[in-house]
Structure formats: C-alpha cells, structure tokens
Structure 1
Amino acid sequence: MTADTGSGPAGTAVADAAGTAAARRAERRRRTPLVKRFLPRTLFGRSLLIIVTPVILAQAVATWIFYDRHWDTVTNRLAFAVAGDIATVISMLERDPSPAGLDWALATTARTTDLIVTLEPGQTLPTRKQKLSGLLERTLGKAMDERVARPFTINTRVAHEWYEIRVQMPDGVLSVMSPERRLFTPTSYIFILWMVGSAVVLFAVAILFMRNQIRPIKRLAVAADALGKGRDVQSFKMEGATEVRQAASAFLLMRERLQRQVNQRTEMLAGVSHDLRTPLTRMKLALDMIEHPDLDAEVEELKADVTEMEMMIEGYLAFARGEGTEAVQPTDLTRLLNELAAGARRDGTEVTLTVPDGLTLPLRPNAMRRCIANLLVNAGRHAGTAWVKAERLDRSVEITVDDDGPGIPAALRTEVFKPFFRVDSSRNLDTGGTGLGLTIARDVARSHGGDITLDDSPYGGLRAVVRLPV
C-alpha cells in the first residue's frame, strides 16, 4: 500500500509536531555558547584537538621566534657584509682613481668577494629616492645608508638569482652585481618545511592512534544500543585501553544480570501460573457441581470471578514474557500490519491501513504482533473505526493507531500504562479488559528500544504512537 500524503487532520498534526521539534532544536542551538558551536562534537575530534593544538601552538611560537631572531640577525649580517664590501671598493677607487688602479680594484673585488663591479662614467642616478618595499631590500638599504652613505638604487629583477646595486659616484655610477646567496639564506625555508612536515607526520600519527583508541568505545556504544533495542550482542568482546576494558566488562556483567533477571522472572511466573491454575480448576469443578436453585446467582458471580482471575493470570504472564527470550530477526513490518489489520476486520473493527511496501526491521515478530494487536483490540473495544499508519523517519519508524472513540483523559494517559489499571472501574471484562493491554504494548516497544505515547487523535478519539529505532 502507498504511504499517506500527509493531508487532512493527521497530516496537520504531523506538520505541527515537526514544527515543534524544529523550534526545540533552534532553541537548543541558541542557548549553546558560541565557542561550543565550533568545537568538534565527537570524542575523536576533541581528542585529536587536545593532542594537536599544543603542538601546533608550540611550532607557531618556535617559528615566530626563529623569524624574529634568525631572519633579523642573519639577514642583517649578510646585508651589512655586502654593503661593507661595496664601501671597501669605493674607498679603493677613491685612493687610486687611475686606470691601472681602477682595473686592479675591480679585478681584486671580483676575485675575492663574488661581486661583479663595473664603473659607468658620466651616468647619474634619479634624484628621487627609491622606495624599498621588500624586507630584504629594506635591510640592504639600511646597510647601504650606514656603510656607504651615498645615493643608491636596488634592482631585484635584473637577472635570476642576482641583485643589482647602483651607487652614485662623483664621475659616474658604480654598478655592483651581487649573487642572491650573498644576501639570502635558504635555512628559513628549510626550517618552515621541517616544521610543516613534522606537523603533518604528527597529525597523521595522532589520527591513526586516536582511531585505534576510539574504535573500542564506538563498538561499546553500538553494543549498548543493540542491547537497548533487544538485539543480540554475543559477538562483543573487550578491547582497548584499561578504562575502556573496565567499561566493557561492566557492560557484559550488566547484560548477564539483565538476562538472568528476565529468565528468573519468566520461570518464577511460569511456576506461579502452574500453582494457581490447579486451585482455580478445582474451584471451577466445585462450582459446576453445585446444584442449588437458591444459589444460582451467587454461583454465577463466583464463576465470573474465577474467569477473571484466569484472564488476569494469563495477561500477567503475557506481560512478563513481553521482553522474553524470542530472538530478534528481520521482520516484514508491512506484512505483519496487514495481517493484524485483517484479523481486526474479522473481529468487527473497521481498519484503514496506510503502510509503505517493503518496510523491514529487526524485531521480535511475535512480541511486536502482540503489541500492535493490543492497540487494535483497545481501538475495536472502545471505537468502531481504527486508522493505522506506518512511516519511516530519519532514524526511526512510527506506527500510529487512531480511533474515533471516547479517548483517554490527559490526566490518565500515564496511569493507563500501569499494570491492571483500568479507566473503566467496573469489573466487566467485556468493556474494560484486565488492564494489561497497554502495559504489555509499552513493555514490548521499550524492549525494542522504542516507546509508546498517547495523544488526542485528529479523528476525535485516542492516538497511540509506537516509535521504533532503525
């Protein structure tokens, strides 16, 4: 059958519920501090942040100190060394300006300083002082001002890996070509690459390490979630750090205690059932053998009491077996609901079913059949028509049972889930039942990790919503 389009009163109720949930999420987001909104939400992300952040900060501080000390010191020394060599060349040219002295000074400079020096007679530099932009240019300009104290220009684009420094002389311009290695050291880049590379390696190692540490915690969470949904967790084993193993050991002990408690309760109630049925059978036989016309009314009342006690015992045993030992298995919920709807129709209840095709969930089929059947029985007992709808949401499946009966007062919607509580205080079993139908239904839903809630139906009666996790 196809899913409902959401129109009509039921669709309006669903839309209102969705709007309320969105409003609650927006309110929680508004109350969350701004810093927490940007922090990782997973344990893996937060642990990684705790490990990596101090290292990155330490490396950032080390890099800043390196640049503040190393760059200033080394670059200044290199720049002042080049400016000093240029000042020496100028002093040599001023001491012996003859052609022979000029040739000797230039040749000596080229041989001993790695500087290529040429004199351009008659040339002049621009009168406007050059604006130095780069850090290296400013450092070299400062050194030239202190050591040479003459007008100069610096050209960093004259050739690849070469700098040109032009100095104004009395009879021309002194052109000095300096290799980049004399003004720049690659250790800064090497240091940065080393820091970045080590950070990347550390980050990768931290990711691998934290994944191995988080994996047992995630498996424990999955096992706890499966146990809460009534599923088998036999394959779970303890692993990981000592604290995680302690938590896993406590989880396994809890699982064993829960299973032992359920088994003991079922066995005890089975014995109680056997012990109570024997005297009840004797009482029924004794009542059937009484043949006294004056006591017919009293005998019929006693027979009704015995019948009520039998029904209460059977109902309580069904309640005790709600969690039961039935194995969880993939169940075709679509087929199960169709069968239950057909059975309710045979009992005289008009049922409208809306369920998507192929809706399969891991369930205990007999327990879930009992849960939905109890809701349909209540709807059939107190109303003439029932509307059953199943739909898959993001992380759950919702089964909604609506009727057009008198409903249940809001003040009693919590009380009706208590064992043997009946809204109809009379002892008529045809109208009130034993008071265990909703108790058993909620017990089954919760054993699957879900729950049942009651609300007003858009059809005028009661709405029961069964939510099952996927």
Structure 2
Amino acid sequence: MGWQTFHYFPRKVLQSRRVEKSVRRVLPRSLLGRSLLIVFIPLLITQAISLELFYGNFLKVASRRLSSAVAAEIVLSLNALEKLQKQSDKQWFVAQARDHLLLVETWKPNARLRRTGFNHVLGPMDEDLAHALQETIDKPFFINWHNDPHTVLISIQLSDGVLEVEAPRKRLDMGQIWLFVAWALGSSLLLFTIASLFMRNQVRAIRRLAHAAEQFGLGRDIGPIKPEGAQEVRKAAIAFNRMQDRIFRFVSQRTGVLAGVSHDLRTPLTRIRLSLAMIPQRGTVQAEALKEDVEDMIGDVVEMEHMIDSYLSFARGEGAETPVPVEVAPFLHDVVFAARRAGATVYAVSVQKDLQAVMRPDAMRRALMNLLDNARRHGGGITLKARVIPEGICLLVDDDGPGIRAEQHAAVFRAFESGGRSGGTGLGLTIARDIVRAHGGEMELSTSPQGGLRVRIILP
C-alpha cells in the first residue's frame, strides 16, 4: 500500500502542475486583464444564478398556474355547452365566455383533428398548457401557437365535431424572458464598464511606476514621478522617488570625488613628462643612451595615463549622456574611420538600410572602439554587421584573430581579468558590456566564421 501511494503521489502532483500550466495559458498576463477577470467572473456567476432562480422557479410556477386557469375555463365551457340544450343558450354562453373569460369559441360540426399535441415554442408555457389540458379533459386536442402572434388556438375533438378556442397569449405568457435577460446583461455590462474605468486608472499608476523604474535602470533621468492611484501604489511611488534621489546624490558625490582623483593623478604625471622632456638628449654618448631611456619612460607615462583613463571610465560609468536616435550606418562608418586611423584593419561594414537606434553616441562609440582596439591589438581583421532581429538591433563584430576559448568567455568580462585578450588593464570588454547593458541590451561572445572572436551586441 505504501509503495503504491509513493508512486501515486508524484503522478497526482504532475497532473496538477499540468492543469495549472493550462490555466495560465488561458488567463491574461496583464494586471488589468486579471483584475477585470476577477470582477467579471463573480458578476457573471451572480447574473447566471439570478436568471436560473427567476426562470427556473418563479416563471415555471407562474406559467403552471396560468395554464391551469385557462384549462379550467375551457373545461367549464365544455361542460356548460354539453348541459345547455337550446341553441340560444349556447350562443349566450359563448358570448359570455368571450366577454368575461376572453375566450373566443367556435364550433365546427362534423370536423376532425388532423394532428394532436402542440407545435413547440420556446419556453415552458406550451408544455404547461398541454399538461394542464391532459389532466382536465380526456379528449384529443391540438394547441397551435403559430396561428396568431396574439392568440393561442386550442382545437378539441368532440364526438360530433371540433371546438376551437382562441385564448389570448397574454393570459399564458409572463412576458418575454429576453427582456429580463437583456436587462440583466445590460446592467452587468454597465457595471463592468464602470469597474473597468476605475481599474484602468489604478493600473495606469502601476504602469507609470514600472516605466519609471525601467528608465531609471537604463540610466535615464526622467525626474520624480507623481504619486497616483491607491494608497499602496502612492507609497511605492514615494519610496521610488526617495530611492532615485538618494542614488543620484550618491552618483553625483562619487563623480565629484573621481574628478578630484583624476586631477590629482594627472598633475604629477604631467610634471614627470615635462621633467623628462627637459633632460638634455644631445652631445654625448651618455645623452644618446639616456634618450632611449627617456623615450621608454615617456611611453610608460602614456600607458599610465591610458590605464588611469580606463579605471576612471569604468568607475564613473556612462549614465550622464542623454540617449538620442542615431542613424546606425553613418555612426558605424565614423567608428570604423577612427579605428582605421588607429591602425585597425576593417574588411567590411554591412548595415541594414534605414536602420536607427536610440543610444548614447559617445558611450556606444567608446564600447565599439574598445572591441575594435582589442581585435587590432591581437592582429585580427575586423568585419562589422548590423541588422534588425525580433529582440531589437543586432551588432556583430567578427575578427580572424586567435579568438578566446569558450571556457574563458565568462572570465574576460570580469574587471581586471584580461584573459589574454582584453588589453593591459583587463577592462576593455568589461566597460563595453556595462555600456551595452546601460542601454538595456546584452553582449555575448562566440566563435566567428573567420575563426576568431565574435562579439554579438543586442540593443532594444
């Protein structure tokens, strides 16, 4: 028993998970859709219950009572016409029935019914009338609901003819059920529309908060958002504004400190370069030897300045620049022109026609220049491509250099981790990926068709 239960329990859990996934596929994904569904389903169930109670109980009871009353009056007419012998008395009773009972009776001697029962119409009143006549009279009859829209023709077979009785339909009909259905559905739609308007205003505040958080995550300053909506949403908006202000204040302070550090570091380097430039470099053998040492020292100073620039750029980030729409083709050609002047070998640039992207031009130029400089430093020829994909815009930077092994792709993105590829400071690929992520995109590494490294940049 325990072993069977052990096997049955996981199967039951798996089935419940499948049902849950199926339900999730049907349910709307947005908060507004789910909120409206929460309002609509109870409203629909309430209206369905009210319709069933009204139609299933009150209408049926009323229809049976009305049908029984009409059947009883018809039986009364039959009994009276059988008892009355004189033709004048029968005519008098027929006139009384027409005036007081609203029953128009017509006698057709020697006639025969061709069919019995009733021609069905929508609703319980036709079955209730037939059932009432079956219980009160033991003669064949036919109920014609289609003879006249305002009356019901009841034909009863007697021994010497057929008695036709025209009863007003309003004596049997409680009114069109569609009127009640239309009223119920109309009121439900009105209430649902009002609830949708209120719910939409609440969801709009949440959407505005989500948009502000997304823009803030991309480094775009959209200012404080106005607290709107329910109390909880207002508190979330106020907390977001305070967090945004604290982060901006922290970034401003850090940027100021970095600016001071940059100044303090550049000043002694500049003095060293001036001192090296003023050393005598001609006239003696010692001076000629010293010249080579001075040139090496100047190269070291330049390399130190380059390293300082890289460190400061990595620490400072690129969030201060405002994103603008940029034509991708001219932008890439400018980057390639600068890279070629620096000594890079660019084979081809392929850009889809009329391609535009919203980016920070200076930051993205720095990221691409880092990638092209890495390829140049490792002796690779470069190919650039740009096209539209479902996720956004895809930039491909391929080279035919030595490449990077797949197991090192994650390591080269870590700060100060060169991996034999990203340069002396180990920040080239790190800064490039941070810039791409600040745009809301992503950067991936793989092997290019030329055998080197492929850098795939996806921008929204």
TM-score interval, smaller chain: 0.7 to 0.9
Give unmatched runs, 5+ long, in structure 1.
Answer: 1-29, 426-430
Equivalent position of 1:130 in the other structure: 117
Matched, 1:356 2:356: no
Shift of 1:40: 0.8
User: Aligned partners of 1:358 and 1:259: how far apart in 2?
Assistant: 36
Matched, 1:441 2:428: no
Equivalent position of 2:444 in the other structure: 453
User: Aligned partners of 1:62 and 1:85: how far apart in 2?
Assistant: 33
Q: Residue 411 of structure 2: which of 383, 392, 415 is its match?
A: 415
SS class of match (1:219): helix
Shift of 1:173: 1.2
SS class of match (1:423): coil
SS class of match (2:32): helix
User: Aligned partners of 1:170 and 1:405: how far apart in 2?
Assistant: 113
When residues 329 and 306 of structure 1 are mapped into structure 2, their CA distance, relative to the original with a 3 A threshold, is: same
Matched, 1:67 2:55: yes
Q: For 1:289-438, list aligned pairs within 5 A.
A: 306-346=301-341, 347-424=343-420, 432-438=423-429
2:155–2:163 CA contact under 8 A, matched in 1? yes
SS class of match (2:106): strand
Equivalent position of 1:464 in the other structure: 455
Equivalent position of 2:200 in the other structure: 211
Q: Residue 105 of structure 2: which of 117, 128, 134 is its match?
A: 117
User: Aligned partners of 2:357 and 2:221: how far apart in 1?
Assistant: 14
1:262–1:323 CA contact under 8 A, matched in 2? no
Equivalent position of 1:151 in the other structure: 140
SS class of match (1:166): strand
SS class of match (1:216): helix
2:442–2:459 CA contact under 8 A, matched in 1? yes
State the Cα RMSD in Å.
Answer: 2.8
Q: For 1:283-294, list aligned pairs within 5 A.
A: 283=272
Equivalent position of 2:168 in the other structure: 179
When residues 218 and 39 of structure 1 are mapped into structure 2, their CA distance, relative to the original with a 3 A threshold, is: same
In structure 1, what residue type is equivalent to 2:72?
G
User: Aligned partners of 1:102 and 1:34: how far apart in 2?
Assistant: 73
Q: Residue 252 of structure 2: which of 246, 260, 263 is its match?
A: 263
2:219–2:320 CA contact under 8 A, matched in 1? no
In structure 2, what residue type is equivalent to 1:239?
E
SS class of match (2:97): helix
Equivalent position of 1:200 in the other structure: 189
User: Aligned partners of 1:432 and 1:41: how far apart in 2?
Assistant: 46
TM superposition score normalised by structure 2: 0.87
User: Aligned partners of 1:71 and 1:183: how far apart in 2?
Assistant: 11
Equivalent position of 2:239 in the other structure: 250
1:132–1:141 CA contact under 8 A, matched in 2? no
TM superposition score normalised by structure 1: 0.85
Shift of 1:31: 10
Shift of 1:46: 0.4
SS class of match (1:240): coil
Give unmatched runs, 5+ long, in structure 2.
Answer: 1-17
When residues 445 and 279 of structure 1 are mapped into structure 2, their CA distance, relative to the original with a 3 A threshold, is: same
Q: For 1:5-24, list aligned pairs within 5 A.
A: none
**CA deviation vs aligned residue, 1:263-288 (integer Å, no higher than 9, x gap):** 22222222122222334445556667
Deviates more, 1:314-323 or 1:88-97: 314-323
User: Aligned partners of 1:179 and 1:326: how far apart in 2?
Assistant: 84
User: Aligned partners of 1:164 and 1:242: how far apart in 2?
Assistant: 66
User: Aligned partners of 1:72 and 1:202: how far apart in 2?
Assistant: 29
User: Aligned partners of 2:247 and 2:456: how far apart in 1?
Assistant: 27
When residues 269 and 290 of structure 1 are mapped into structure 2, their CA distance, relative to the original with a 3 A threshold, is: farther
**CA deviation vs aligned residue, 1:358-386 (integer Å, no higher than 9, x gap):** 33322221111111111111112213311
SS class of match (1:33): helix
1:284–1:303 CA contact under 8 A, matched in 2? yes
Equivalent position of 2:4 in the other structure: none
SS class of match (2:117): coil
1:125–1:173 CA contact under 8 A, matched in 2? yes
In structure 1, what residue type is equivalent to 2:33?
G
User: Aligned partners of 1:217 and 1:68: how far apart in 2?
Assistant: 44
Equivalent position of 2:15 in the other structure: none
SS class of match (1:354): strand
Deviates more, 1:349-358 or 1:106-115: 349-358
When residues 131 and 161 of structure 1 are mapped into structure 2, their CA distance, relative to the original with a 3 A threshold, is: closer
Equivalent position of 1:18 in the other structure: none
User: Aligned partners of 1:231 and 1:361: how far apart in 2?
Assistant: 16
Matched, 1:167 2:156: yes
Deviates more, 1:332-341 or 1:343-352: 343-352
User: Aligned partners of 2:177 and 2:407: how far apart in 1?
Assistant: 76
User: Aligned partners of 2:271 and 2:351: how far apart in 1?
Assistant: 48
User: Aligned partners of 1:87 and 1:433: how far apart in 2?
Assistant: 112
Percent of pairs with identical residues? 43
Shift of 1:331: 2.3
User: Aligned partners of 1:465 and 1:205: how far apart in 2?
Assistant: 49
When residues 337 and 88 of structure 1 are mapped into structure 2, their CA distance, relative to the original with a 3 A threshold, is: same
Q: Residue 33 of structure 1: which of 14, 18, 21 is its match?
A: 21
When residues 414 and 76 of structure 1 are mapped into structure 2, their CA distance, relative to the original with a 3 A threshold, is: same
Equivalent position of 1:81 in the other structure: 69
User: Aligned partners of 2:104 and 2:63: how far apart in 1?
Assistant: 21
**CA deviation vs aligned residue, 1:148-172 (integer Å, no higher than 9, x gap):** 2321111112222211101122322
User: Aligned partners of 2:56 and 2:402: how far apart in 1?
Assistant: 82
